[in-house]
Amino acid sequence: MNDLILSSVLDKNAALNPLDALLLAVIGIVVVFVVLIVLMLIIWLMGKIFDGSEKLKEKHPELNNKLQNAKAKIMFWKKSQPAKQVAPETQETANGTCGELKLINVEERDAAMIMAIVADNMGAPLNELRFISIKKVEDEK
Amino acid sequence: MNIGEILTNLWHSSGYYLFGEAQGWKSIIMIIVAFFFLFLGIKKKFEPLLLVGIAFGMLLTNLPAGVSDALFHPDYWTGEAAVANGVDYVYVLQHGGLLDILYIGVKTGVYPCLIFMGVGAMTDFGPMLSRPSSLILGAAAQMGIYLVFILAACMGMPGGQAASVSIIAGADGPTAIFLTKTLAPEILAPIAVAAYSYMALIPLLQPPFMKLLTTKKERMAVMQATRKVSKKEKIIFPILVTTIVCLLLPSVAPLLGSLMFGNLLKECGVTERLSDTAQNALMNIVTLFLGISVGATAVAANFLTLDTLKIVVLGLAGFILATVSGLLIGKLLYVVSKGKINPLIGSAGVSAVPMAARVSNTVGLKYNQGNYLLMHAMGPNVAGVIGSAVAAGFLLAVFG
């Protein structure tokens, strides 16, 4: 018994007397139960928090609607970015730019690259720049 | 040129001649045991992925000295010099055989941790998260470990060996190997063989006690579906468990950390390739190395002893006590929950995933057609994995 009281690390090669073994077993099972009960409480609490947020959404549908609308807008914006349609001869406004940008014979992807290069060279954020139009210059024949 | 002398020398150097030397009969017995395990693995499909490897390693290592020396040297690992000064890994790499080199992964505890990573990547903690009381059943089944620990101490086993034998009751092969390689490497082979053999025998061992300790009414109890667990909860869980439990028991960090890392790879949704590798390629490679190198440690001189018999008996007692403990706490929860928890899921608290949960389901279906307990039993089953890792962490902290 003194071994247990004096040292937390016992000699693994020494025989244990049954009383020490009993004491160790009781401490061991208490440790297992305490750890798993703490985990149980955390899981229970986590479940309550997540269920609570779901119920809040159900109780205040307007909040949920606003969230969904915001998500939908973001999705729409993201989808509109990599559009690959060739701009027609006529002047057209591109999506996702600050103000109105007219693309003349230029693909949106190329226009995005040009804007990014210009912004980088100027050292200014893209959303602070305003592009009026981007026009493809015909090659000289 | 004397043809007779050449043939005599050839005969004397052959393994067949060496069987006739002192202790050769022990090797023959071990080879027969290896054949028996191969039969169990291949024909009876008892944990074949590991048992076939273990049996083949056992066969290779018990071939007479001249043959097995090219493969494995037990004295490198458990010889007097190794015990006194620690294993000389450089020497092992320079002079060891194939199985010596593979065994480094066992000795350093790398294989059990990698297996746990794969287990984590394959495990769905959802059933446990949806019913947190499952953790009580997972803890209850670990009582078997400590009851066997007391029994082993009463039988005069040293503390390290008693701890290693007791962990068999956790029904968790990697944890048993991880603990034993640190506390009692000299009995690693019988412990690994006993742990995996009893895990394979769960469908035979548990049902009699499940019937004995529960009434027909209890066995027929129908459990209701639990709440749906969100993806966020599943992602947060492995991070929380690792932080909380590893801070409390640092000795369990390699095992539990690997288990939870594997689970995070599965749940986070952005590492599908890594999760797939942990579940399949990595798991298969490590299982292959682990099986054959653990089997190699079952050398006749170490294996055919009275201690092995004690380990086999205590291991069996541990499995039974773990099952009984889980069932009794299951009965308690049945009463407390007014019949909403079927006590049969208590036996799944031993961590043999998913075998123990399947047994609960099978026994439940036998008494109530349509009462599927599998998902309910998976809760205590995965909780048992955490429970046995915590129990091993405690024993390592005490004797390590």
Q: Each residue of B322-353: pLDDT tens digit?
A: 999 999 999 999 999 999 999 999 999 998 88
Across A107-111, A137-141, B179-183, the highest mean pLDDT is recorded for: B179-183
Percent of chain B with pLDDT over 90: 66
**The pairing of beta strand A92-93 with beta strand A102-104:** antiparallel
Q: How far does the CA of residue A10 sit from the closest CA of chain B (Å)?
A: 5
CA distances to B161, B195, B204 from B190, rounded to whole Å, are 12, 8, 21
> Between chains, do A36 and B154 touch, taking CB under 8 Å as contact?
no
Judging contacts by C-beta atoms under 8 Å, the chain A residues touching residue B394 are 27-28, 31-32
Judging contacts by C-beta atoms under 8 Å, the chain A residues touching residue B143 are 29
Is the omega angle on the peptide bond into residue B74 within 30 degrees of 0, that is, cis?
no
Higher pLDDT, B397 or A92: B397
> Between chains, do A31 and B249 touch, taking CB under 8 Å as contact?
yes
Domain boundaries, chain B: 122-290+305-399
pLDDT at B93 over 90: yes
| Confidence at residue B20, expressed as pLDDT on a 0 to 100 scale | 74
Q: Which residues pair with A133 in a beta bridge?
A: A102
**What is the per-residue pLDDT across B227-247, written as a single tens digit (0 to 9) for each?**
889 999 999 999 999 999 999
CA distances to B37, B52, B190, B300 from B32, rounded to whole Å, are 9, 14, 16, 11
> What's the average model confidence in pLDDT over B277-297?
93
> Between chains, do B139 and A32 touch, taking CB under 8 Å as contact?
yes
Average per-residue pLDDT in chain B? 91
**What is the per-residue pLDDT across B150-193, written as a single tens digit (0 to 9) for each?**
999 999 999 999 999 999 998 888 999 999 988 998 898 889 88
> Between chains, do B146 and A50 touch, taking CB under 8 Å as contact?
no
Q: In this structure, is the dihedral angle defined by the CA atoms of residues B258, B264, B267 and B271, taken in order, positive or negative? A: negative
> Between chains, do A51 and B233 touch, taking CB under 8 Å as contact?
no
Higher pLDDT, B247 or A79: B247
| Confidence at residue A141, expressed as pLDDT on a 0 to 100 scale | 45
**What is the per-residue pLDDT across B309-318, written as a single tens digit (0 to 9) for each?**
999 999 999 9
Write down the ipTM of this complex. 0.86
Surface-to-core class of residue B109, CB atoms within 10 Å of its CB (0-12 exposed, 13-18 middle, 19+ buried): middle
| Confidence at residue A82, expressed as pLDDT on a 0 to 100 scale | 60
Residue A8's pLDDT band (boundaries 50, 70, 90)?
Answer: low
pLDDT at B29 over 70: yes
Largest CA distance in chain B: 90
Q: How far apart are the first and last CA of chain A?
A: 101
Q: How far does the CA of residue A36 sit from the closest CA of chain B (Å)?
A: 6
| Confidence at residue B224, expressed as pLDDT on a 0 to 100 scale | 87
Judging contacts by C-beta atoms under 8 Å, the chain B residues touching residue A12 are 158-161, 163, 183-184, 399-400
| Confidence at residue A139, expressed as pLDDT on a 0 to 100 scale | 58
